[in-house]
Amino acid sequence: MDPDAALLAVAEAARADAYAPYSRFQVGAALLCEDGTVQRGCNVENASYPAGICAERTAIAAAIAGGRRRFRAIAVAGPDGIAITPCGICRQVLSEFSADGRLRVIARDADGVIRATTIGALLPGAFGPDALRQA
Ligand SMILES: O=c1ccn([C@H]2C[C@H](O)[C@@H](CO)O2)c(=O)[nH]1
Ligand SMILES: [Zn+2]
C-alpha cells in the first residue's frame, strides 16, 4: 500500500476511539515518528466545550510523552465525504515540531481523494521557537 494511504488507514481506525459526544464529529490522527513508530490520536471533547482537544494534538502530546519529538508525517481522518484540514491551533502545535516546515500533512478531500501538503504550506510565516531564542 502507498505510505500515505497506509498512514491514513491508521487515522481512520483511530476515529473509533474519539470522545466526541457533543459534536459527534469523530476525528482520528496517525503521527509517523522519525523512529518509524506511529502514534494514534483522536479528539477528546469536554462538557466545558473549549477544553476539548483535537486529534492532531492528542497524537503529538502522546508521542512527546512517549519520548518522541521528531516527526515525518501526520494523517488526519474525519467522517466520510468531509475534507479535513488541521485547525489553526493544531497548525501552530505541529509547526513547533517541524523547524523546516516539511512535516507532511495527509488527509482525504471531500471526494475521498488522498491529498498531501506540508505544515509549512498550511502555516507560512509561523511564529516558532527561534523567535524566543533571539529575545
Ligand atoms: O482537524 C480537526 C478538526 C476538528 N477536530 C475536532 C475538534 C472537535 O472535537 C470536533 C469538531 O470541530 O472535531 C479535530 O480533532 N481535528
Ligand atoms: Zn485542531
Task: Give the domain range for residue 92.
Answer: 3-133
Q: Which residue has the cell 529575545?
A: 135
> In ligand 1, which atom is closest to the CA atom of 27?
15
> In ligand 1, which atom is closest to the CA atom of 26?
13
Return the residue whose CA atom lies nearest to atom 5 of ligand 1.
Answer: 54
Q: How far apart are CA 11 and CA 28, in angstroms?
A: 5
Single out the residue of 75, 56, 82, 81 nearest to residue 116, CA to CA. 75
Which residues form ligand 1's pocket by a CB distance below 6 Å? 20, 23, 25, 27, 43, 45, 52, 54-56, 76, 84, 86-87
Asked if the interface predicted TM-score (ipTM) of this complex is over 0.90, the answer is: yes
Amino acid in position 19: Y
Amino acid in position 46: N
Q: What is the CATH number of the domain that holds 45?
A: 3.40.140.10
pTM recorded for the entire structure:
0.97
Which grid coordinates are listed for 80?
Answer: 466520510
Statement: residue 135 has pLDDT above 80? no
As beta bridge partners, residue 114 has 108
> pLDDT (tens digit, 9 = 90+) per residue, 53-95?
999 999 999 999 999 999 999 999 999 999 999 999 999 999 9
Q: How many domains does the chain have?
A: 1
